[in-house]
A and B are shown apart, each in its own frame.
Chain A
Amino acid sequence: MFDALSDRLERLGASLRSRGRLSDADLDAALDEVRTALLEADVELSVVRAFLAAVRARLAGTALATSLSPGQQVIKAVHEQLIEVLGASPLKVTYSSRPPTVILLAGLQGAGKTTAAAKLAQWFKQQGRQPYLVAADLQRPAAVEQLRVLGASIGVDVFSEASDPVAVSREGVERARSLGRDVVIVDTAGRLALDEALMAEVRAISEVTSPHYTFLVIDAVTGQDAVHTARAFHDALSLSGLIVTKLDYDARGGAVLSARGVVGRPVVFASTGEKVGDFELFHPDRIASRILGMGDALSLIERAEATMDADVVANSASRLMSGQFTLDDFLAQLNQVRKMGSFGGLMKLMPGVTKEMRNAASNVDERELNKIEAIIQSMTPRERRDPNLLDASRRTRIAAGSGTTVNAVNQLLKQFTEMKKMMRQMAGGGMPNLPGKLGRAAQMAARADRGRELPAGFESLGAGLRAAAPSGPKNKKKKGGRVTPPKQR
């Protein structure tokens, strides 16, 4: 639905391309596209304006680097400015010398405060702390119950009492102190920014607990209203930072920039899924790429790092490049990938993946994967090493053994062979000459080659730019191609 900013700028086309520096008119046209991209990402209008002024200042009069197209130069400036505004370095959470460190969570109804409270507790636990949860949301039916259930699931005690929220908060902090807990997280009632009574309540809670940190929990899908919310809570509570939730939705998350823009406080944590573990420190560069629609390769790499077995991967990767990749290797890889999560989720993080591919991937049924696994496991070890052995009778046997059809077996083998061929060509540095669907990915490689002209320091940006282009996941492969040669030696 949304076009990546880079596409828009590409479309501005030759008029920008041919000149040595951006004229005012060029700049206007380019910034107009930036404006649309930001608005489509739900960045609030005044924040957009101020942001554009800053980008203009960054770009005005600068000579165009020969290695970047003017469009790329604009994106670079926008990207840098986004990262600067979102916070060059995250707020470091430190701990009070007189424990407990008190953290107050506030936010609108439905932003995900209660869940965020539990996730935050889990995070502190992982840091070796002993967190304690206080359920001061007595407004929503069953909010206390929800926090209890979540607390039990992560092994963190929850304090609650059927009195009034202010008393609960005060006693909760007291209790934590007497229990020797070093972090207390107070979950308050969700409210509408306009609700004076509830605002007064959260202010009273803030007074009796004197929190070291006050975080506003804000929903990534929020629209223009994010500024009102952030402003109202900042006025009432003097926020120390933001926690952004629902980043697993496909929203661009411009609300983060809006809220950050008006309260001038950093985003500290990001919640990225329904599981309690889906919670991490916020990375400005990632949301910057996301607002511009450029994928999130870093998160992908991090997830890979956390779940994949490096030796297995390195082994089969070098085999892949040298063309000795077997079905056994493929099976091992498939299992590695399955450990990382759903295909759809992975593809979303992958820069440079088209919407169609993304949709196709998110529709991949886990059962399909089981089928592939069954097919390969129905082969003898020798067959897996050398698929050429597979004649009609062996294929029939495999189909029967795996509970699939000969057709499915054929398809798998055909795709596997094609992919192997492609990888070999890429490892050889040649332009792969690919059939059908994969052909588009090859065109991408050609584009990606342009990235080579980038000066060394721009490598990561180059990746981002290429990522923004609509095409197959080829840029990743390219990266692999560059990495592998030393390994072969």
Chain B
Amino acid sequence: MTIAIIIIAVLVVVLVGVAVVRTRTRARAQLPVPVAPLPEVLVETEAPRPSLEEPGSLRQRLATSRGVFDRLRSITGDTLSSEQRDVVEEVLLRSDIGVATTKAVLDQIDAGIPLGVAGEVRRVLLEFLDRDRDVRIVGDPGRVPVWLFVGVNGVGKTTTIGKLAQLHADEGRHVVLAAGDTFRAAAAEQLAQWAERANADIVRAAEGADPGSVIHDALGRAAARRADIVLADTAGRRANNSNLLDELRKVRRVADREPGQVVETLLVLDATTGQNALSQAREFLAAAEVTGIVLTKLDGTARGGIVVAIERELGIPVKYVGVGERVEDLRVFEPEAFVDSLLAT
């Protein structure tokens, strides 16, 4: 099977090669075109391009659409006008909830809207978000509980860990941080600043070191000092690179070996992410047995609706949300508040 794939791929590339050779031959056949030197002045070379903006600025449109939704709040009745339906659809799509989940909501409210449009949408969304969100902070007897953090680049993993370290410390726990992101320049440095602030221990290694060994050392230190919890950082990675996901699998295995026990694997997601978040969640779930999501950057204009689709399709609960830069801006996820902000102006 694998061999078949390899052979096919090689073949295909050979044939691409043929196409390349042909292109080159053709290029050679063409008359040489004299190349004008680049003018050493700054010239505006853009041609006018069609704008995609609708008449009436986009901002106005956004404002009106949300206003309309507000008006719908008060409407009750048995059926939905097509205009109302369009507005619901628009609000949902704009929140990044996705086409499939939007359709699912619409199907439900088509059946009737005893609570009014807004109320009914709210009810349906909360139904999708109805699951257990408790975090586990103790391991089996004699094991050190580990929270492992995974995610793609730039979503705010390290910052999230720093804030959680502070929160755990505030609740009187002795925290050990494992700087397992040995890839990004200066990630360990960033985590060390948080460790200092939270009065936590940190285990770090040189850039490019094996992340597994960092976590192993952190577990050793945590056991020796009778720490209450280990928060382990990992390098950001693309969710569609199987080598990197294999590495993550290994890191997780190391973290789950005595004396450690992975009690939570948290996927950190950026609220501005669109439909790709769903495939990120799927891949990380398969590679690292994700137990929960931390949704960051909710303080911007993005609404993070994609987590509804993730909960609905993959059943991974959101456990924390990040709504700002301060430590206290990392909060426990509350479905009702989230849905309200999803639907709010």
Report which A residues bind B (CB closer than 8 A).
1-2, 36, 39-42, 44-47, 49-51, 54, 84-85, 87-89, 91-92, 94-97, 101, 108-112, 141-143, 145-146, 148-150, 192-194, 212, 219, 221-229, 231, 246, 248-252, 254-255, 257, 260-262, 264-266, 274, 300-301, 304-305, 308, 310, 313-314, 316-317, 320, 330, 333-334, 336-337, 340, 342-344, 346-348, 350, 357, 360-365, 368-369, 372, 411-412, 415-416, 419, 423, 437-438, 441, 472-473, 476-477, 479-480, 483-484
Can you show 27 pairs from A to B with CB atoms below 8 A apart? A42-B96, A46-B58, A49-B54, A88-B47, A94-B38, A94-B40, A95-B42, A112-B154, A192-B299, A221-B152, A223-B302, A225-B272, A225-B301, A225-B302, A226-B272, A227-B58, A264-B52, A304-B17, A313-B14, A364-B2, A372-B3, A411-B3, A412-B3, A476-B19, A477-B11, A479-B18, A484-B18
Most chain A CB neighbours (cut-off 10 Å) among B20, B156, B190: B20
17 other A-B residue contacts (CB within 8 Å) besides A95-B42, A141-B190, A333-B10: A85-B49, A96-B42, A97-B40, A141-B193, A146-B184, A223-B302, A224-B95, A228-B302, A229-B301, A264-B49, A301-B23, A317-B18, A348-B240, A412-B3, A419-B8, A437-B1, A476-B12
Given contacts A223-B274, A372-B6, contact A266 B49 (CB under 8 A): yes
Smallest beta-carbon distance B267→chain A, Å: 14
Given contacts A47-B52, A109-B156, A262-B58, contact A194 B7 (CB under 8 A): no
A108 and B272 form a contact (CB under 8 A): yes
**Which residues from B are CB-within-8-Å of A344?**
240-242
B278 contacts the other chain (CB 8 A): yes
Instruction: List B residues 275-323 near A (Cβ within 8 Å).
Output: 275-279, 282, 297, 299-303, 306
Q: Which residue of A lies closest to B238 (CB)?
A: A249
Contact of B14 among A40, A333, A360 (CB under 8 A): A333
Task: Please measure, in the bound complex, the distance between the C-alpha atom of A250 and the C-alpha atom of B9, giving whole angstroms.
Answer: 19
**Which residues from B are CB-within-8-Å of A310?**
17, 20-21, 24
Smallest beta-carbon distance B173→chain A, Å: 24
**Which residues from A are CB-within-8-Å of B301?**
193-194, 225, 228-229
Given contacts A49-B54, A192-B297, contact A149 B18 (CB under 8 A): no
Q: Which residue of A lies closest to B38 (CB)?
A: A94
Contact of A304 among B5, B16, B279 (CB under 8 A): B16
A223 and B272 form a contact (CB under 8 A): yes
A368 and B2 form a contact (CB under 8 A): yes
Given contacts A46-B54, A146-B184, contact A223 B156 (CB under 8 A): no
B94 and A224 form a contact (CB under 8 A): yes
Task: Please measure, in the bound complex, the distance between the C-alpha atom of A109 and the C-alpha atom of B324, giving whole angstroms.
Answer: 12
A223 and B12 form a contact (CB under 8 A): no
Most chain A CB neighbours (cut-off 10 Å) among B7, B8, B59, B156: B8
Task: Please measure, in the bound complex, the distance between the C-alpha atom of A248 and the C-alpha atom of B42, giving whole angstroms.
Answer: 32
**Which residues from A are CB-within-8-Å of B1?**
360, 437
Q: Mark B21-46, 1 if CB is under 8 A from A, else 0.
A: 11110000000000000111111011
Task: Please measure, in the bound complex, the distance between the C-alpha atom of A484 and the C-alpha atom of B15, giving whole angstroms.
Answer: 10
Given contacts A110-B270, A314-B17, A483-B22, contact A223 B306 (CB under 8 A): yes
Contact of B7 among A224, A342, A419 (CB under 8 A): A419
**Which residues from B are CB-within-8-Å of A40?**
98-99, 275
Smallest beta-carbon distance A265→chain B, Å: 8
B49 and A416 form a contact (CB under 8 A): no
B154 and A109 form a contact (CB under 8 A): yes
Contact of B275 among A97, A231, A251, A347 (CB under 8 A): A251
B239 contacts the other chain (CB 8 A): yes
B5 and A364 form a contact (CB under 8 A): yes
B52 and A260 form a contact (CB under 8 A): yes
**Which residues from A are CB-within-8-Å of B52?**
47, 50-51, 54, 85, 257, 260-262, 264
**Which residues from A are CB-within-8-Å of B189?**
141-142, 145
Task: Please measure, in the bound complex, the distance between the C-alpha atom of A411 and the C-alpha atom of B2, giving whole angstroms.
Answer: 10
Smallest beta-carbon distance A292→chain B, Å: 15
B50 and A249 form a contact (CB under 8 A): no
A223 and B275 form a contact (CB under 8 A): yes
